[in-house]
Chain A
Amino acid sequence: MNEQIFGIHGAALELRSQRMGVIAANIANAATPGFKARDIDFNAALDARLSEARGEPARFGEPDMLYRRPTMPSLDGNTVELGREQVAFAENAMAYSATLSFVQGKVNTITRALKGE
């Protein structure tokens, strides 16, 4: 039911919010020696969620946490590149906002249909 109404946007919103936590953790650890920056592959995670919802045998559970490949490794083993993380955070926040307005649109449509306007 949920999937029929919101399409991919329900799963996408959830994943976007998860990714926001992961990127914020990278930013928080920008000065921690030896910390390896991580991220999730959004497209792969969304595919997994959707095939799960369609009832196909899929990988269950949390999306895979991948390690970011640094452009220039630092001496203390930390692979956070602050600029990159901030851009990723901004991009993810924008996408979250966009997904949210799609969900909002769907909700409005259904509410209007229910009210018989």
Chain B
Amino acid sequence: MPDSNRMTLFSMTERAMSAQLVGMNAATSNLANAGSVASSEAEAYRPIRAVFATELDRATGISSVRSDGLVRSETAPTKRYDPGHPLADETGHIWEAPVDESAEMIEIMESARQYQNMVQALQTAKQLMLETLRSN
């Protein structure tokens, strides 16, 4: 929906749901990269995290949520000694992506639950609006 429009309950929910999807995608891509290794610290995968910010519509006073892009976490990759690994550097070390699988799973579950809450709210609002339309 274009920004010039007044924020309605529908556009607000839509934005909140897409923000949750961004969060879920970030966590999923972290999970997918769990256990990936690189031959130097700089090349190793760093987990990404979605940042949420409130977006206030002054005309209606409704505040929606927006995902303000993704932030790469500063966690240091795990250095492991494994001289037999094909990616090992000259000292025999590999750098493993610092992904906490259970934390990412929790992140995904939380996004899914939040998404579900929005669907529920939208359903209720939609039903009430339809009832109002039908009432004459």
Interface set of A (CB-CB < 8 Å, partner B): 13, 17, 20-22, 24-25, 27-35, 38, 62, 65, 82, 86, 89-90, 93, 96-97, 100, 103-104, 107
Contact A89 B124, beta carbon cutoff 8 Å: yes
Chain B: interface size category = 20 to 34
Total A-B pairs, Cβ < 8 A? 81
B125 at the interface (CB under 8 A from A): yes
Could you name 21 residue pairs across A and B whose Cβ atoms are closer than 8 Å? A13-B132, A17-B128, A21-B8, A24-B12, A24-B118, A27-B118, A28-B16, A28-B63, A28-B64, A28-B65, A28-B118, A31-B65, A32-B54, A38-B61, A65-B61, A82-B117, A89-B124, A93-B128, A103-B135, A104-B135, A107-B136
CB-CB under 8 A from A31, the residues of chain B are: 20, 23, 52, 65, 110, 114
Quick one: given A21-B9, A21-B60, A35-B63, are A30 and B54 in contact (CB under 8 Å)?
A: no
